[in-house]
């Protein structure tokens, strides 16, 4: 979604800001803009569309000299919420005097009443955005102290914000603040970079400070002074990012998605490393922060997430019930706090989120905390809001995931959920020997995934048969049912083919009406419980003319013969097999989308992290 970059230092600010915005492009956006201060005036350049258009625009409008003498500025990529993605709605927005500029992520929920009040005082608004209202409000509060003006304005707003503000009257600083929308500050050598995502900071420094909600910072080239909204100083540690700029590069791959699919053996090895205990037949997940007694006392596991993370939770549901003999259920994070979730202090709520910033998942975490549940998270982004608010949990260590379509985060989420289920299972149901056997299976996951990736060329060839279809149906049973849902999500988001995932038995309760001659059905028919019934479901589809692509277990020639095309999945534990199976579907979706000429890494209308409800 929207991205913020702010810079104050010794380099040419417009170039630094535009490069920073490029690093945030993966998050999804539809317009961009930047503001600098020159000769005691704020100068703005904006463009609907891509950062490349903004770059051209700024380089046309501004002289090279202006570029090189500006050492402070703020910039933004906007994912439209209030008003279409036009130049006038793009950020930065100015206050009434034109002396204060603001970029903003999040939503000011009471902007209508604030706007009416300001209009009553003679303010005129040019855009449809909530952000312009906040810019005017800050300007209205400014009595000569920008920091105090931002504090006063933020006391009046309801909603979420990550902001960066500059004023031509105080041109040596940027004010930044957050509530519900991340801000990270990179502390460089004689330069400070503000961003909504560490990806924009990587090129400058590894040293970062994550703001907490209701923190507000006065940032100069050499200092970061953080306070709360009542002007009380607060201390925030400097953290190391732990990954370098190369991690956010394509490294020779045509797309980030393909790179991230190929990175999975390594990402999974990182997610698993040091976390299996072959002696006890268990797993070591210190971040869970649970004693064996607490684990034994748990009544239920509730998994919450959205999109791909929700699908990982669905696999986790099977894993917790099968392996740990504990009641488990998945709830859509978006619904969690709007129903009456029956949650108590013997329930473990696991929030699953790659970004750790998804608004719905964060809201579910807060609801579960309020209800006294034992809450933990499974996040990829270190220091993200959900990771910090839960305080307990397990990081995925998958490395930065840039492509909007989640791949390596999903497989690492499932691997970690399997390890969590193993840990719970050992306290409840598993013998040491059972535990060791499962730990050995989990240890093999990176190699199993590598075997699927070796079929890349074969999968690319198969994709040609499906690239022109308009609809596709994915079916699975048992733990392969969530894999079918994830396969369908992947295909629809990057290829724009209408794809749906169903439990194979559900087909004849309705969706089978959609099958006609040639309709692709992607059947996950690996050797998992229920496979015989799955073969029956495939025959039902074939009888109606469907074209079947099967995922079959290695060496299962009989099943392979039922398929029009097939991809083999290495033999392993049925829950473990969900991981190589999904990798095959990721590659399939990728190649179909590539053949259709789609913009794979930044699909239309999508954002990498969805920070609004
Ligand atoms: O960062 P999160 O895991 O919380 O994100 C949840 C979803 O928005 C995300 O998985 C989305 O569905 C992806 N586009 C899937 O590829």
Give the list of residues 6+ apart from residue 510 with CB closer than 8 angstroms, or none. none
Whether residue 517 sits in one domain with residue 428: no
What's residue 454's pLDDT? 97
Select from 225, 248, 271 the last residue of a domain.
248
- Specify the pTM: 0.82
Q: Which of 199, 309, 589 to mutate to test the pocket of ligand 1 (most atoms within 8 A of CB)?
A: 309
Residue with CA closest to ligand 1 atom 9: 307
What's residue 284's pLDDT? 93
Whether residue 433 sits in one domain with residue 464: no
Kindly give the distance from the C-alpha atom of residue 531 to the centroid of ligand 1, in angstroms, as a whole number: 29
Whether residue 81 has pLDDT greater than 70? yes
361 CA: nearest ligand 1 atom: 4
Select from 391, 422, 443 the last residue of a domain.
443
CATH number at residue 64: 3.60.20.10
Whether residue 241 sits in one domain with residue 356: no
Residue percentage of the chain with pLDDT more than 70: 99
Residue percentage of the chain with pLDDT more than 90: 80
Sorting pLDDT into bands at 50, 70 and 90, what band is 222? very high
Distance CA 528, CA 530 (A): 6
Helix (H) or strand (E) holding 581: helix 578-595
Task: Please state the rounded mean pLDDT for residues 525-546.
Answer: 91
What's residue 250's pLDDT? 78
Whether residue 147 sits in one domain with residue 84: yes
Residue 239: both structure tokens together: 């953290």
DSSP 496: -
What's residue 245's pLDDT? 66
Whether residue 251 has pLDDT greater than 80? no
CATH number at residue 468: 3.40.50.10490
Q: Is 306 a catalytic residue?
A: no
For residue 37, tell me if it sits in a domain. yes
Scanning the structure block, which residue is given the tokens 């202090």? 345
Whether residue 376 sits in one domain with residue 284: yes
129-178 pLDDT, tens digit per residue, is: 999 999 999 999 999 999 999 999 999 999 989 999 999 999 999 999 99
98-137 pLDDT, tens digit per residue, is: 999 999 999 899 999 999 999 999 999 999 999 999 999 9
| Mean pLDDT score across all residues of the chain | 93
Task: Please state the rounded mean pLDDT for residues 182-188.
Answer: 95
3-state secondary structure of 498: strand
What's residue 199's pLDDT? 87
Angle at 549 between CA 546 and CA 550, to 5 degrees: 120
329-383 pLDDT, tens digit per residue, is: 999 999 998 888 899 889 999 999 999 999 999 999 999 999 999 999 999 998 8
Beta-strand runs (E) in 201-273: 207-210, 215-219, 224-228, 239-240
Whether residue 479 sits in one domain with residue 569: yes
| Parent domain of 22 | 2-248
Lining ligand 1 with CB less than 6 A are 306-309, 353-355, 358, 361, 404-406, 493, 606, 609-610
For residue 448, tell me if it sits in a domain. no
Q: In the chain, how many domains are there?
A: 3
End-to-end alpha-carbon separation of the chain, Å? Answer: 12
Task: Please state the rounded mean pLDDT for residues 552-565.
Answer: 95
Select from 419, 443, 467 the last residue of a domain.
443
Whether residue 467 sits in one domain with residue 379: no
Whether residue 192 sits in one domain with residue 286: no
Give the list of residues 6+ apart from residue 457 with CB closer than 8 angstroms, or none. none
595-613 pLDDT, tens digit per residue, is: 999 999 988 888 888 877 7
Whether residue 600 sits in one domain with residue 578: yes
What is the biggest distance separating any 2 CA atoms in the chain, rounded to whole angstroms? 79
Residue with CA closest to ligand 1 atom 14: 405
Kindly give the distance from the C-alpha atom of residue 599 to the centroid of ligand 1, in angstroms, as a whole number: 18
Whether residue 309 sits in one domain with residue 234: no
Q: Which is the catalytic residue, given 2, 562, 572, 598? A: 2
Task: Please state the rounded mean pLDDT for residues 203-216.
Answer: 93
Sorting pLDDT into bands at 50, 70 and 90, what band is 246? low
Q: Is 371 a catalytic residue?
A: no
Sorting pLDDT into bands at 50, 70 and 90, what band is 405? very high
Kindly give the distance from the C-alpha atom of residue 227 to the centroid of ligand 1, in angstroms, as a whole number: 32
Whether residue 172 sits in one domain with residue 161: yes
Whether residue 242 has pLDDT greater than 80? no
For residue 154, tell me if it sits in a domain. yes
Task: Please state the rounded mean pLDDT for residues 515-521.
Answer: 94
Whether residue 150 sits in one domain with residue 78: yes
Distance CA 219, CA 175 (A): 6
Alpha helices in 42-129 (DSSP H): 51-61, 64-69, 111-120
Kindly give the distance from the C-alpha atom of residue 250 to the centroid of ligand 1, in angstroms, as a whole number: 20
For residue 581, tell me if it sits in a domain. yes
């Amino acid at each position: 979604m929207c991205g913020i970059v702010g810079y104050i230092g010794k380099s040419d600010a417009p170039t630094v800001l535009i490069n920073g915005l490029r690093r945030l492009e993966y998050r999804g956006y539809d317009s961009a803009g930047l503001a600098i201060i020159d000769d005691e005036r704020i100068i703005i350049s904006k463009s609907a569309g891509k950062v490349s258009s903004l770059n051209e625009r700024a380089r046309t409008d501004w002289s090279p000299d202006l570029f090189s003498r500006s050492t402070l500025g703020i910039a933004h990529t906007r994912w439209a919420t209030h008003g279409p993605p036009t130049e006038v709605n793009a950020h930065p927005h100015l206050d009434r005097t034109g002396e204060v500029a603001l970029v903003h992520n999040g939503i000011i929920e009471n902007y209508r009443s604030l706007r009416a009040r300001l209009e009553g005082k003679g303010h005129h608004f040019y855009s449809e955005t909530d952000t312009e209202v906040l810019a005017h409000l800050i300007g209205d509060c400014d009595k000569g102290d920008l920091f105090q003006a931002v504090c006063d304005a933020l006391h009046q707003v309801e909603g979420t914000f990550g902001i960066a503000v500059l004023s031509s009257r105080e041109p040596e600083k940027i004010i930044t603040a957050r509530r519900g929308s991340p801000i990270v500050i990179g502390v460089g050598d004689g330069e400070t970079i503000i961003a909504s995502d560490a990806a924009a900071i990587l090129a400058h420094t590894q040293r970062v400070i994550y703001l907490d909600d209701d923190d507000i910072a006065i940032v100069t080239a050499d200092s970061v002074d953080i306070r709360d909204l009542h002007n009380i100083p607060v201390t925030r540690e400097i953290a190391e990012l732990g990954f370098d700029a190369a991690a956010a590069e394509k490294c020779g791959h045509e797309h980030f998605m393909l790179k991230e699919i190929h990175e999975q053996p390594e990402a999974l090895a990182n997610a698993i490393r040091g976390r299996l205990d072959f002696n006890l037949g268990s797993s070591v997940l210190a971040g869970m922060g649970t004693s064996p007694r607490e684990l034994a006392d748990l009544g239920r596991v509730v998994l919450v997430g959205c999109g791909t993370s929700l699908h990982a939770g669905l696999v986790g549901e099977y894993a917790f019930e099968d392996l740990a003999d504990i009641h488990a259920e998945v709830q859509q994070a978006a619904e969690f706090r709007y129903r009456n979730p029956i949650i108590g202090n013997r329930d473990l709520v696991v929030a699953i989120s790659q970004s750790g910033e998804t608004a719905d998942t964060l809201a579910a975490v807060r609801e579960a905390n309020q209800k006294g549940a034992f809450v933990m998270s499974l996040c990829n982004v270190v220091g993200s809001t959900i990771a910090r608010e839960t305080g307990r949990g397990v990081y995925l260590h998958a490395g930065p995931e840039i492509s909007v379509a989640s791949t390596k985060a999903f497989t690492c989420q499932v691997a970690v959920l399997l390890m969590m289920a193993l840990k719970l299972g050992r306290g409840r149901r598993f013998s040491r020997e059972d535990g060791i056997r499962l730990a050995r299976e989990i240890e093999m996951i990176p190699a199993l995934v590598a075997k699927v990736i070796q079929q890349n060329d074969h999968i690319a060839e198969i994709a040609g048969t499906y690239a022109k279809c308009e609809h596709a149906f994915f079916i699975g049973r048992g733990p392969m049912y969530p894999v079918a849902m994830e396969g369908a999500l992947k295909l629809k988001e990057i290829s724009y083919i209408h794809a749906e995932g169903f439990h194979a038995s559900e087909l004849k309760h309705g969706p089978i009406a959609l099958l006609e001659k040639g309709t692709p059905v992607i059947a996950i028919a690996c050797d998992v419980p229920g496979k015989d019934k799955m073969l029956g479901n495939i025959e039902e589809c074939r009888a109606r003319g469907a074209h079947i692509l099967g995922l079959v277990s290695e060496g299962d020639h009989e099943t392979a013969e039922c398929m029009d095309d097939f991809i083999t999945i290495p033999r392993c534990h049925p829950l473990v097999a969900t991981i190589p199976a999904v990798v095959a579907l990721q590659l399939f979706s990728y190649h179909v989308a590539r053949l259709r000429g789609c913009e794979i890494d930044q699909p239309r209308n999508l954002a990498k992290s969805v920070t609004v409800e």
